[in-house]
Structures are given as C-alpha cells and as structure tokens.
Amino acid sequence: MIVVDRIADLRARCEATRRSGCTVGLVPTMGFFHEGHLSLMRAARAHHDLVVTTIFVNPLQFGPDEDLDSYPRDVGADTAAAEAEGVDILFTPSVPEMYPEPTVTTVHVARLTDGLCGATRPTHFDGVTTVVAKLFSIVGPCSAYFGRKDFQQLAVVRRMAADLDLPVEVVGCPLVREHDGVAMSSRNAYLSAAERESARGLFAGLGAAAAAVEAGERAAARVRAVLEAEVARHGLDVEYAEVRRAADLTPLTELDGEVVVAVAAPVGRARLIDNVTMQIAGAEVSVDLGVVTLATQESTR
Ligand code: AMP
C-alpha cells in the first residue's frame, strides 16, 4: 500500500490503472476506522483491481458548533488497518490540498437533503456532496462504496452522481453493528460506559418499529410512535424518528414498497443516527437491520 497526499499524484495513478485495463474501487471516509469502514474496503477489494481509500475530515461538512476539532483521528492505526485489508492507495490530503482557496463552488442536492439530518445540520450535505464530487473528479471513473449506516448520505450521493452524469457507480453496503446491535460509528468513541448502554436504545427502537410492521402496522405515525417510545425508554431524547420511501426519501404516511425508518438522538456528546430498511409487499415484510460483526469497536483499534 502506498500513502498519497497530493491530488495530482492520486489522479495520475488512477488514470494509469484504467489505461492498463484495470478498474478502480473508491472508499471515501473520515478515518478512525472500525468494521463498518473495513467492510467497505473488503467490498471494493472483492470487485476491483485498484482499491483507493481516502481519509479526510472535511471541514465543509461540519457546522460551526460541531465536533470538527475533536473528531477522533488515528492515522497510524488506520494505515495499518487499511494495509491489512489489501488497500492499494491510502489518500490522506491536507485541508489546504483539498481547499487551496476559500470555497465558492459547492454542490447542492435539493429535496433529499430536506429533513432527517438536514434539519439540524443545514450545511452538512452541501459539504458532503462538494467533497465527494471532488473525490469523484480526482479518482475518475470508478465504483464508490458507501455504508447504509448513513442512509440519507447514500441517497444524496447517488442522486448527485446520477444528476451530474458522474462516471461513478455508487454502491451501497450493509450497515455494520456491534454484538449488541449498536451501529458502529467513529463517534461511539465519545461515549462513556453508561452512554454506550443508552446508545442501545436506537437499535431497540428500530427493532420495535420493525416488529410492529411485521405484525401488520402500516401507518407511519404509529410506527414512529413505537420507535420514539422505545428510544425514550432508554433515556434518550429523539431528534427525529421518520419513515421515508427508501429510493428518494419522500415522507410516507402509509408504509409500502421499500421504506427506511430512520432515527437520530444525542447521546452524551455524540449525536448518533441509525436506520432499518424494509421491503413491504402486502402482508409480506422483509426487514434489513444490517449485519452484526464479531469484532468490537475497541478491538478494531
Ligand atoms: P465516515 O468515516 O463516518 O464518514 O464514514 C465513511 C463511510 O463508512 C461512509 O460511507 C459510511 O456510511 C460508512 N460507515 C460508517 N459507519 C458504518 C457502519 N456502521 N456500517 C457500514 N458503513 C459504515
């Protein structure tokens, strides 16, 4: 594996790879790797000749009062983990390399960024789409791997790539959970033992919501109520609990087709998000809660 921190260098290597008839898999991240990140690298490794993983804590996607400065970082451990997964190029640009000038050009995806995380983080998705568009431009034609943990982000990036005819296949990958169901997240590092216990409330709430749908409930308001009650029972304040059509995030009143039930709650200093997707056809319900890993977040570090 080589570590690259210059845009021109990464672009040249990706171009040379494609010229020789090989394909490129891209895994954009903000680092502090856990099994969720590693699962994306494995998916890219399984399908592509050259695997590029990027680590960039993107200032543009953080609000003024958010955790940009304290966001967990460990480039040494990340380098070893990426190497162990067979990543070919680890791209670790500096902020001035990515943004040599104050940003005046941004990418905005309308509608899909309304509500959910967009409600409390009004500039977040413009930051995400701008940096992801830059990475797609630098890496060029490739498949890019994103986790369904950040379901709204995946939908927004997919729509951006389609609307702008970017030569990138956006691939969604399963949400990875710890043994007790808590979704893996770099921000779990902020949690005390007691907060980590409360964090289970998000998964418990989604499980209860899925059980209600499996038992025949189709009214979004009642599914939301089940979710909110279970999250609150774990002592958490719900930031949002919503039911949306999975493909384009349209709000739903009745559950039908492929839906996503998404939740966010502050837990201590962290703000955690989680979701479950369900395929509903009449009385048939198939629930996708993601995958449970045997590795703990601690042991990945
Ligand atoms: P981040 O470093 O948090 O920006 O995440 C980088 C990529 O990893 C994004 O595509 C995330 O959706 C994905 N990711 C983060 N956590 C998980 C998880 N628990 N399961 C699957 N993918 C994840």
Measured CA to CA in angstroms, residue 38 lies from 55, 164, 175 at distances of 13, 28, 12
Of 152, 138, 108, the closest CA to residue 249 belongs to 152
Q: Answer whether residue 105 shows pLDDT above 80.
A: yes
Residue owning the nearest CA to atom 11 of ligand 1: 147
Distance between Cα 38 and ligand 1 center (Å): 9
Residue owning the nearest CA to atom 8 of ligand 1: 37
Tokens 């907060």 sit on residue:
195
Strand segments, DSSP code E, in 117-196 are 142-147, 168-173, 176-177
Of 61, 64, 70, the closest CA to residue 32 belongs to 70
Distance between Cα 43 and ligand 1 center (Å): 13
Least confident span in 242-251, 263-272, 288-297: 288-297
pLDDT, one tens digit per residue, over 14-34 is 999 999 999 999 999 999 999
Taking the CA of residue 32 as reference, the ligand 1 atom at the shortest distance is: 2
Taking the CA of residue 185 as reference, the ligand 1 atom at the shortest distance is: 16
Side chain identity at residue 222, one-letter code? R
Average pLDDT over residues 127-136: 99
Average pLDDT over residues 235-256: 98
Of the pLDDT bands very low, low, confident and very high (cuts 50, 70, 90), residue 165 is very high
Active site residue 37: yes
Measured CA to CA in angstroms, residue 139 lies from 12, 14, 109 at distances of 9, 6, 21
Residue owning the nearest CA to atom 12 of ligand 1: 147
Q: How far apart (Å, rounded) are the C-alpha atoms in residues 41 and 35?
A: 10
Q: How far apart (Å, rounded) are the C-alpha atoms in residues 35 and 44?
A: 14
Tokens 């993983």 sit on residue:
53
Pocket probe mutation, ligand 1, options 62, 149, 186, 271, max atoms within 8 Å of Cβ: 149
Tokens 């395929």 sit on residue:
279
Q: How far apart (Å, rounded) are the C-alpha atoms in residues 241 and 254?
A: 15
pLDDT above 90 covers what percent of the chain? Answer: 97
Residue owning the nearest CA to atom 22 of ligand 1: 147
Distance between Cα 147 and ligand 1 center (Å): 5
Residue owning the nearest CA to atom 15 of ligand 1: 36
| pTM (2 d.p.) | 0.97
CB 65 within 8 A of CB 106: no
Q: What angle do CA 216, 220, 224 make, to 5 degrees?
A: 100
Classify burial at 124, counting beta carbons within 10 Å of its beta carbon; exposed 0-12, middle 13-18, buried 19 or more: buried
CB 30 within 8 A of CB 56: yes
C-alpha 144 chain-centroid distance: 12
Pocket probe mutation, ligand 1, options 37, 178, 273, max atoms within 8 Å of Cβ: 37
Q: Answer whether residue 301 shows pLDDT above 70.
A: no
CB 248 within 8 A of CB 155: yes
Please tell me which residue in 34, 37, 48, 124 is annotated as part of the active site.
37
Taking the CA of residue 33 as reference, the ligand 1 atom at the shortest distance is: 2
Q: Which pLDDT score, from 0 to 100, does residue 16 have?
A: 98
Q: Which pLDDT score, from 0 to 100, does residue 296 have?
A: 82
Pocket lining for ligand 1, CB < 6 angstroms: 29-30, 36-37, 39-40, 146-147, 149-150, 175-176, 183-186
C-alpha 71 chain-centroid distance: 16
Summary mean pLDDT of the chain:
97
What is 233-250 written as a DSSP string?
HTT---SEEEEEETTT--
Which strand (E) or helix (H) includes residue 259?
strand 257-267
Of 55, 201, 246, 212, the closest CA to residue 135 belongs to 55
